[in-house]
Structure 1
């Protein structure tokens, strides 16, 4: 990608919007006297009324002179938000900045019930409780190291040999986690479709759970995508639908054989990619260790070689656009 050049990367606009969502009216809720303002008196809070729920937040950065007609859109993974793409846990520029530097306008999304999209009352609107991610789970699931290599002191953690994740920033990474609901998949897809109706076609880069959504979205509405890059999708849908009309790039990191979960997810994603290819779709797989780039975790956009992986993704876009 281009070296950072403030003269080249002039930003014309930073904006945001919400898409999707619906109004829900609650009645028969309790009224409470609550000290809402610190150091202020308690006041009556009436929880009855109208709520907007199941919306998606989108941040848009538009360059003064972009080099690409089609923007890049980023979807994050489970228990995470658009922070995934903004800055790495150890403080380096994230992929949003790298693709802006390369000349793309960008959209970064927070999915339904994540981050700035906000939450709704439970159990009055959300009918199930959220689940939460621990650092311990992330250590194993994101393939930073074996379970017995985890310590609540990052300086004492023992990662996989050759791991490229910045282990010293593990707590900064874990600080990103937010509650997630496991029953909002359809609502999330509907909100994403509303986003895409507003933006028009994009190059989509999606991670983990977001990668699963991306595969489903391309199968249902290929007209929204110039191409789809799925970074380690968490499994894959069974039906390829019309996805053969959209170029796909699957990106995989290292240490998958150490995780039964990821062995299973990859098997399903590989089967999906094979079905796409057999149907006449354009599909490529970037297996980083198989291509001489060992050590990447489940979050290559945060690993110390994140710029290199971004270069490879941009190279794929340049080849097929």
Structure 2
């Protein structure tokens, strides 16, 4: 790859919320990976006016479609310190924007890990964002959408069901919570529909990304926890480390031995014990960690309040103390010998 320098602060304009030092890159770009071709047949031809006042056109939905490709972008620091690329995979109903910035305009983990010297790849999973989605003729099931109350009450920002309110003064925020609640509307603008029937397609595209880019380190969040563990089980020689940030699901315990040579860190935030769902989801992660350890693997589990990092919601990379969490992860990666 032709080397070149790009000096940029990865915001549209420098603001006090961002670090003052420019980010110097040796390269950046994007690509699509994976996917398949599907043929649709037996559908009636329609006449469509694509724009008001336009000339009608016949639209024949029969034919070949390219579907289930995945969009990825990459940022390569000039002063590289990570031995391998760091792939950031987002959670359900979200896109790679999860890591780009925070709802209140602070630096996201993308910037922070580029500053730490990691080649960072951020993707939009199949069905999300710039990866797009397939038609109902191809995908079974319906997309699911989140109300404004949903993440507030389920992501341990508010104090459970009924804690969200259209009047910010009436919102019941968990005491000491680090999520930037004043920018919650900006967070909701990032939400996109998700399906419950596309896991196979998502995993296939992530596997194609790993085959293209890796060996690498995976940093996965929430729904992507299960995707990351399953891809690592299928490609253990290509994965050099896993950081699972509040994985909502885990891998296949019957294949846990495939991770025995992959150092793994699992990170959990605050307020889990008092939540209605998260104790069970956390136990799923702990049980999988035990299975990996029983097979001879190394899994470190960090409960952030136990190490003095308190108030974190499910969206740790967006919380006001996101740098402290990023530093903890960066230090762990260094201790595993994954940095120069």
TM-score interval, smaller chain: over 0.9
How far the C-alpha of 1:270 sits from its partner, in A, is 0.7
Residues 4 and 101, structure 1, Cα contact 8 Å, conserved in 2: no
SS of equivalent to 1:57: strand
Which has more helix, going by share of residues?
1
Partner residue, 1:288: 304
- Post-superposition shift, 1:223? 1.4
2:130 is aligned, of 113, 116, 120, to 116
Is the CA contact 1:73–1:106 (under 8 Å) kept in the aligned structure 2?
A: yes
Do residues 185 (structure 1) and 165 (structure 2) align?
A: no
5+ residue gaps in structure 1? Answer: none
Query: For the residues of structure 1 that align with 2:148 and 2:265, how far apart are their CA atoms?
Result: 29
Q: What residue in structure 2 maps to residue 47 of structure 1? A: 61
Match of 1:200 in 2: 214
Aligned mates of 2:245, 2:63 — CA distance in 1: 41
Show the counterpart of 2:237.
223
User: How far apart, CA to CA, are the structure 2 residues paired with 1:94 and 1:206?
Assistant: 15
Q: Normalising by structure 2, what TM-score? A: 0.89
Q: How does 1:118-137 map to 2 (within 5 A)?
A: 118-122=132-136, 124-137=137-150
Greater displacement, 230-239 / 107-116: 230-239
What's 1:248 paired with? 264
SS at match of 1:226: strand
2-structure distance, mates of 1:102, 1:155: 38
CA distance in 1, matches of 2:190, 2:111: 18
Q: CA deviation at 1:230?
A: 0.2
| 1:306 to partner: Cα distance | 0.5
Count of aligned residue pairs for this structure pair: 316
* Secondary structure of 2:273's aligned partner: helix
Check whether the contact 1:18–1:57 (CA below 8 A) recurs between aligned residues. Answer: yes
Partner deviation per Cα, 1:212-239 (whole Å, 9 max, x = no partner): 2112222222112110000000122342
Task: Note if contact 1:254-1:297 (Cα within 8 Å) is conserved in structure 2.
Answer: yes
- Say which SS state the counterpart of residue 83 (structure 2) adopts: coil
Alpha-carbon RMSD across the aligned residues, in angstroms, is 1.5
Kindly indicate whether the alpha-carbon contact (under 8 Å) linking 2:33 and 2:209 is maintained by their aligned counterparts in 1.
yes
CA contact (8 A) 2:90 2:222 kept: yes
Secondary structure at the aligned position of 1:165 is classed as: coil
Question: Within 2, Cα distance between the matches of 1:267 and 1:67?
Answer: 34
1:237 counterpart = 2:251: yes
Residue among 283, 305, 313 paired with 2:329: 313
SS in 1 for 2:138: coil
CA distance in 1: counterparts of 2:101 and 2:50, whole angstroms: 33
Q: Which residue of 1 aligns with 2:313?
A: 297
2:13 corresponds to which residue? none
Q: Which residue of structure 2 aligns with residue 24 of structure 1?
A: 38
CA contact (8 A) 1:73 1:204 kept: yes
Deviations 1:11-34 (A, max 9, x none): 232211111110011122232332
Matched with 1:72 is 86
Q: Which residue matches 1:36?
A: 50
SS across alignment from 1:257: coil
Query: Partners of 1:201 and 1:140 in 2: how far apart?
Result: 38
1:215 partner SS: helix
Q: Counterparts of 1:161 and 1:316 in 2: how far apart (Å)? A: 29
Cα displacement (A) at 1:159: 0.5
Structure 2 stretches of 5 or more lacking a match? 1-18
The 8 Å contact of residues 126 and 205 in structure 2, kept in 1 or not, is answered as: yes
Could you list the runs of 4 or more consecutive aligned residues of structure 1 that deviate by over 4 angstroms after TM superposition? none
Greater CA deviation, 67-76 or 150-159? 150-159
> How far apart, CA to CA, are the structure 1 residues paired with 2:260 and 2:167?
46
Deviation at 1:38, TM superposition (A): 4.9
